[in-house]
Amino acid sequence: MAGILTLQYKQIPGNKKANILKVTEMLAANSDKELDLVVLPEFFSTGICDEMYTDTEPADGGETVKAISLLAKKYKTNIISGTVVEKDGDKLYNTMYVLDREGKTVGKYRKIHLFAYMGGTEDKALTPGSEEVILDLDFARVGLSICFDIRYPLHHRKLAQGGAEIIVSPSAFSYPASLSDEDKASFINTWRAMNITRATENLVYFVTSNLFGKSYPYLYSIGNSMISDPWGRVLGDAKDEETAVYADISLLAGKDIRKVYPACHIS
């Protein structure tokens, strides 16, 4: 068994200190659990704000990732450190850093599919990544995805074909506040359906960590962070609350499922 913890919280836009403190407090409150992997949201330290494109991090993740590395070492857990805006030369990337139990950066992934719809401007400020990433952590083979990547099935199929047993997706999945209640409900249902679908079509555990609450004046991050298993069962569900969700998962069970349905995994 492996213990997975995913965090969902209301960000304070542009306030790195307060947002990192929130992560610290939530992790401390769940430190009695068996933690093999902790997943933080996209833009976990800044939220969605104009400052995230100016108050950037260097190519090693800077002080923001260093703070999370100390938590990984303290609690002896692997951490998917959400994402930060990383400056490398004259280019900016939406980058996820992965830390092992010693707090060392063991890999990073630059978001490939940037959000450029419904007022989104990621593609104007950021450079897309170009490579899918799968990492061998000490307990599982983990594939990396970020937010809008969830709408690209082939991205996740490549991760599954590469042997990923778990796919993680830090997210800031949001809708315009101007949507009708009916459209908002449909938007959330689509997000939840994609979580389950990415798990079942690839026969992996799929873990999302989403921001929650109002960000930009016209954007609302929907929460609904989930831990879904290869059968499509939702093992953990944050819904519309500021909360941490925990689940024990069986990697052996996942391997057994892939033996029963190998075609689903490789085709």
Q: What letter represents residue 34's amino acid?
A: E
Give the separation between CA 166 and CA 199, rounded to whole angstroms: 9
Question: Of 22, 42, 57, 108, which one is the catalytic site residue?
Answer: 42
Give the start-to-end residue ranges of the domains of the chain.
Answer: 2-266
Bridging pattern class, strands 205-210 and 166-171: parallel
Give me the pLDDT at residue 109, please: 98
Structure tokens at 182: 């009916």
Question: Of 86, 108, 132, 147, which one is the catalytic site residue?
Answer: 147
What is the pTM assigned to this prediction? 0.95
Give me the pLDDT at residue 117, please: 65
- Whether 264 is catalytic is no
CA angle 23, 27, 31 (to 5 degrees): 170
- Whether 165 is catalytic is no
15 burial level (CB within 10 Å; 0-12, 13-18, 19+): middle
CA torsion, points 7, 12, 18, 24, in degrees to nearest 10? 0
User: How many angstroms separate the Cα of 198 from the Cα of each of 35, 73, 179, 223?
Assistant: 23, 31, 26, 18
Split the chain (267 residues) into runs of 10 and give each run's mean pLDDT. 96 93 98 98 92 92 97 98 96 98 98 78 86 97 97 95 96 90 95 97 96 83 96 96 96 83 60
Domain 2-266 is found in CATH 3.60.110.10: yes
Give me the pLDDT at residue 255, please: 83
Give me the pLDDT at residue 267, please: 52
- Whether 241 is catalytic is no
Question: Of 16, 22, 108, 111, which one is the catalytic site residue?
Answer: 111
Other C-beta atoms lying within 10 Å of the C-beta of residue 54:
12
Contact 208, 226 (CB under 8 A): yes
Give me the pLDDT at residue 7, please: 98
Tokens 């949507």 sit at which residue?
Answer: 179
Name the residue among 113, 114, 107 with its Cα closest to residue 81: 107
